[in-house]
Structure 1
Amino acid sequence: MKVYIAAIEGHVPCDIVHTFRAFLEFCYIARRNVIMESVLEELNDALQWFYHYREFFKMVEVATTFSLPCQHSMKHYVELIRQFGAPNGLCSSMTENKHIRAVKKPY
């Protein structure tokens, strides 16, 4: 996933690169097998930087709102990891794929 940063750097504004970097940092931290309290602080920091830099998209009117389900769920990760432990690479696309095969393909 880190290839994205090298691919877009120099072609888009710096704030977009920073947004991607913060998002990818969040993803990499959340996928760890063991997450201690200090790692949760890193995860929260990455999330705060993502929230900070994504405002650029609103300023240039690329997007007026950021309420996408995957981005919305990010704010719950820290508390859910405290309650249930590391997600160990959990990916919502697994259940989405099963849903498509079970529900949508037969029709």
Structure 2
Amino acid sequence: MFAVSPLPADDDPLLKFARALGFERLLALPSKRQQVIAAEDRATNVPQIIKLFEVGALVLKRQINKSSKLDAGWMDEVFRVIAAFSNNTYQLAKRSNGVQLKNRINGIHLRPYFNREIKE
């Protein structure tokens, strides 16, 4: 520019620096990749707490379809576990009249019921 002849590409100091820096980053990629994989494994291998209910246990069932956000998160009715399966699903029956529910319920939608005695 303005009667100055440009340097050849091989003699440009900025280009040499960029190439050297890029080569260093390329050499560091495998170790960086291993660090990222290890961090992802630590994040995904968090042990999940699985609640296991025995047959005969009293449980509360999560209320799925709420009419408003102020509704309770758990149904008022108490259920009894009548069968437990290996995939954390349970067959339930109503405690009041013993009527069996049509579908099995996943364990994440159940909560143990504790009978409280109110002292007056």
TM-score normalised by the chain length of structure 2: 0.20
The structure whose RCO (Cα within 8 Å, separation 6+) is larger is 1
How does the TM-score come out when normalised to structure 1? Answer: 0.22
Larger Rg: 2
More strand as a share of residues: 2
